[in-house]
Each structure stands twice: as structure tokens, then as C-alpha cells.
């Protein structure tokens, strides 16, 4: 078994993208993007291959969509400017600036859950990511596959408010038992 075989199996399990990364640069060998519904299938593959769970955590991508749009606009503007410059250089009359495209509502920002798996014998750290919308952060639990994920999921729920559907005991682990805030969300104000 090696990382290549794992890659095949993960791709077969329905992962959206399985990318081999450069270990020396990134620190992990496989970067797997899955939809929340496919998570359990992907984790089951790793379980069958004898991986152990290293950690579960989250990342809050608040403002990502706005940034992406800004970048896209900047890029569009730069392109338009380049076109105009090119036209001006050619001596033609600059075309009327295209009216700014109707952008509509911003797509909702995402919360990402990140699962790290490693193998005792093989040199292959696998990072599984799954994204969900911020307003409905729900992802199935994997604590029935890896009992060790129980605490990691509780911790992630503490910090991000991600709800692990099917988790047997999703109460605060590190935060006070009556905590109703999620400190690692980017819009958290103490």
C-alpha cells in the first residue's frame, strides 16, 4: 500500500478532489476535498487501510467570497484596462467601458472542517477537508468509526459551532459547560 493506492481508493469513494501535495513544502501528502455527504465514505476508506486519526479542526472562511469577488473585479478591471490600452495603442477609439456586470447576492461564506489522518507504518499524511455554509454548518460525525474523533469533534464544535450530526454527546469539552459562543469564528467578539 502506498499513497498512490490510497489516492485511487479515495477518488473511488466519491471525493471531489484528491490532490497529491509536495510533503516537504506542505507537511502532508494527500489533500482530499469531499462534500459533507461523502465524508463518512472517505473516512471509512482510511479506517480500512489502518490510518489513525490525528486531529479534527475547522477553519472559518468569513469574507472569502467578498475577497474573491474583489479579486475577480480587480482582474476584470485590469483586463478591461489592458484592452483599452491596447485599443488606444492601436489608435482606435476606446470602446465604451462595459457597464459593471450585475453581480447579484454574494455567495455565502464557508466553514471548513479539516481532518488529519496519519499512518503508523506508511509515510502518508492525509488531510480531508469538507466545506459547509456558515448558516448551516452540519457535517456527519465520524466518531462511530474513530472513537478518538469524539473529543476532537466536541472541541471543533466548541470553537466553531460546527454541528456533527449523529455525535452522541456534543456538549462543550474545553469551554465552560454553559458556553453559547464559538471563539474561533472570525466574527466572534468577546
Question: Cell triple for residue 105?
Answer: 447576492
Are 139 and 160 a contacting pair, CB within 8 Å? no
Residue selected from 101, 176, 178, 189 as contacting other proteins according to rule CB under 8 A: 176
Rule CB under 8 A: is residue 26 a binding residue for other proteins? yes
Contacts of residue 159, Cβ cutoff 8 Å, sequence gap at least 6 = 57, 58, 182, 183, 184
Q: Which residue's CB is nearer to other proteins, number 80 or number 173?
A: 173
61 DSSP β-pair partners: none
Residue selected from 9, 11, 23, 83 as contacting other proteins according to rule CB under 8 A: 23
Interacting positions 95-154 with other proteins (CB under 8 A) = 114, 116, 118, 120-121, 123, 125, 127, 146-148, 150-152
Contact code string over 41-80 relative to other proteins, x by CB under 8 A: ---------xxxxxx-x-xx--------------------
Q: Which residue's CB is nearer to other proteins, number 152 or number 157?
A: 152
Count of residues that interact with other proteins, criterion CB under 8 A? 37
Question: Cell triple for residue 60?
Answer: 472559518
CB of 57 to other proteins, least distance (A): 4
Residues 68, 70: Cα–Cα separation, whole Å: 5
Amino acid at each position: 500500500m502506498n499513497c498512490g493506492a490510497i489516492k485511487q481508493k479515495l477518488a473511488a469513494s466519491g471525493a471531489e478532489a484528491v490532490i497529491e501535495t509536495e510533503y516537504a513544502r506542505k507537511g502532508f501528502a494527500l489533500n482530499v476535498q469531499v462534500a459533507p455527504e461523502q465524508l463518512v465514505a472517505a473516512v471509512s476508506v482510511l479506517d480500512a487501510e489502518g490510518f489513525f486519526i490525528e486531529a479534527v479542526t475547522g477553519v472559518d472562511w468569513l469574507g472569502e467570497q467578498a475577497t474573491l469577488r474583489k479579486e475577480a473585479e480587480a482582474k476584470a478591471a485590469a483586463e478591461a484596462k489592458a484592452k483599452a490600452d491596447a485599443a488606444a495603442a492601436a489608435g482606435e477609439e476606446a470602446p465604451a467601458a462595459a457597464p459593471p456586470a450585475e453581480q447579484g447576492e454574494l455567495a455565502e461564506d464557508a466553514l471548513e472542517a479539516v481532518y488529519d489522518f496519519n499512518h503508523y507504518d506508511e509515510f502518508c499524511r492525509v488531510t480531508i477537508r469538507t466545506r459547509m455554509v456558515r448558516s448551516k454548518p452540519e457535517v456527519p460525525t465520524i466518531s462511530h468509526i474513530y472513537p478518538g474523533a469524539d473529543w476532537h469533534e466536541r472541541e471543533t464544535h466548541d470553537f466553531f459551532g460546527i454541528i456533527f450530526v449523529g455525535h452522541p454527546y456534543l456538549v462543550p469539552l474545553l469551554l465552560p459547560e454553559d458556553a453559547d459562543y464559538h471563539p474561533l469564528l472570525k466574527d466572534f467578539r468577546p
